[in-house]
Amino acid sequence: MNTVERWKQEQHPLDVIENVYEYAEGNFSFEEIEARAGDGEWERLKWAGMYAHGRQDDYFMLRTKVPGGFLTPAQAEAIGTVADEYATAPEEHGGEAQNEIWGDAFLDITTRQDIQMHWIEVTDIPAIWDTYEAVGLTTIQGCGDSARNVLGCPAAGLDDHECFDAQPVIDAVSDFFTNNREYANLPRKFKMTITGCQEDCAQSQINDVGLVPARKHVDGEDIYGFHARVGGGLSDGPRMASNIDVFVRPEDAVEFCRAVTQTFKELGDRNNRGLCRMRYLVQQMGPSTFEAAVRDRCDVDLHSRGQDLTRGYRGDHVGVHPQKQDGLFYVGFNVIAGRMGGDELTAVAQAAKKYGTDDTSIRLATDQNFLLTHIPEDNLSALLNEPFARKYEHDPGPFARGVVGCTGSEFCNYGIIETKKRVYRWARALDRQIVTPDDLAVVRMHMSGCSASCAQPQIADIGFRGETVAVDDSEGSTNEESGNITEGMDVGLGGSLGTDNQFLDWVAHAVPAQAVIPALQQLFTVFTEERDPGERFYEWARRVSNDRLRRIMQRANANVFGGVAHDG
């Protein structure tokens, strides 16, 4: 077994919940936590939804699970209140001025429809959990080697692009796995997505399990259910999920997901931590053999595939959209890099109650944006005039609309470069400086601070993967001791999901950060000149050779290819 498996053998990971209450009561420091439980406790604390900050001792990142991204106004208000009260930096780390863009008491919407907060102290965790329990929220298994937050279409039950509303199935699957000791210790993190949407908003192609809408003739009638995809994922070994020959009734979805999890639990690698993800197991066994193993462990009969109803991929829901309920609309708001103030989410919740019907909700999306639903047409104008609505535009520029950023080095142990402030500023700058074709609504630009792919760069038009770069010119250096070391990144082009799904190519390596925008300006100048009618950026990038793309980038008045990856 690898070291993490040994730590999980020493104590069941879910038992850490009781430990947290002890640490909170005693206001334990990080040093005291480690003395009490050993260094394996940092891994087990992930089952409580807690990550130790990378560079600030005694503070945690706390992750809140939001199945399908669905929040009631009361839940959204509770999250906003918790962020405002507890996600606050101490004066020695900047206090209210810790971040020149977002200030203090902010939260992050993630690519898995979660909420993350920073600067959380262990002594405050029980009070946060009490607040959450009152409105039906949890942080349990927000992290760790278990079933993570279950994804879904943020417009479930609203839009006419869905075959059926899968949110009840999402809730049932999430409820089954949360606090379930039998399935809380898996070889690695386990990611599921479930949707009745024809446009695969929930990204089934890059998850361990993806259930997508299908129809099949069974016992003389046509019924709706799911087809299954397995073994997708990103990070260092990206793989698109494989279709398997099963049709799953909605009422059988929990059992099917349990059987897949059981298969992974039994057969997954617990030795090599780098090869523990389920996609490696599917690749090793082959999809058909993996399917047979799932069928052997499933307590319901699984039909063979029927008619697949997925027709493409929809990357966002930004804008004002009519609902299938007469006279009602939902509005998708653009949150650049997914970060907003706790007080702002509270304002969103209050606006939902003020302008929406009794069924109003706030939905979190995988592109780090949010939707506000069930708004009567007569209330749209007033809603869009609210301060948060003017800030988080429903009609942003294409770069702002498509930008995604991970936590980065600001708080993450693994982050090599700063991401949130950078992608925020870059998106704003690119929308000002680059004139894009009128029919190009979005350019997906995703930045991960390391190779872990939390920002999903491989499926973006433009993807960034952070690293430190050695350059001859010390201008912009981030290293006081070695003046030629600066933040930089690998640049990839041409990724997408959908019917033409493909991971991007890493076209340029070790590009100094200050050279990226000039290089992108050159690329978009040529793209605008050469594009076919209606052609999107990723499509153009694919049909142009990587050598030519590099030559275009070299035209920039910047040191685009003057860096070398720096180890350490």
Is 74 exposed, middle or buried, given 0-12, 13-18 or 19+ CB atoms closer than 10 A? middle
- Token pair 């209140």 is found at 81
> For residue 163, what are its two tokens?
């075959």
Query: How is 180-221 classified by DSSP, letter by letter?
Result: -GGGS--SS-B-EEE--BTT-TT-GGGSSEEEEEEEEEETTE
> Are 64 and 83 a contacting pair, CB within 8 Å?
no
**Which pair of structure tokens corresponds to residue 264?**
């992974």
Structure tokens at 461: 């038009």
Question: At 116, which helix (H) or strand (E)?
Answer: strand 115-120
The tokens 């030519």 sit on which residue?
548
* Domains along the chain with CATH numbers: 3-134 (3.90.480.20), 163-196+205-308 (3.30.413.10), 319-393 (3.30.1370), 400-565 (3.30.413.10)
CA torsion sign for 178, 181, 183, 186 is positive
Cα–chain center distance at 406: 8
For 546, the token pair is 């990587």
Considering the entire predicted model, what is its pTM? 0.96
Tell me 141's DSSP state: T
Strand 328-333's sheet: what is its strand order? 70-71, 362-364, 370-376, 328-333, 319-322
CB 65 within 8 A of CB 50: no
DSSP 503: P
- Calculate helix-pair angle for 420-433, 516-530, nearest 10 degrees: 40
Residue 345 CA to residue 370 CA, distance in Å, equals 10
Residue type, 130: D
Both structure tokens of 423:
């992608």
**Angstrom distance (rounded) from CA 30 to CA 42:** 9
pLDDT tens across the length of the chain (568 residues) = 899 999 999 999 999 999 999 999 999 999 999 999 999 999 999 999 999 987 789 999 999 999 999 999 999 999 999 999 999 999 999 999 999 999 999 999 999 999 999 999 999 999 999 999 999 999 999 999 999 999 999 999 999 899 999 999 999 999 999 999 999 999 999 999 999 999 999 999 999 999 999 999 999 999 999 999 999 999 889 999 999 999 999 999 999 999 999 999 999 999 999 999 999 999 999 999 999 999 999 999 999 999 999 999 998 999 999 999 999 999 999 999 999 999 999 999 999 999 999 999 999 999 999 999 999 999 999 999 999 999 999 999 999 999 999 999 999 989 999 999 999 999 999 999 999 999 999 999 999 999 999 999 999 999 999 999 998 765 555 554 455 899 999 999 999 999 999 999 999 999 999 999 999 999 999 999 999 999 999 999 999 999 999 999 999 999 999 889 887 6
Amino acid (one-letter) located at 167:
Q
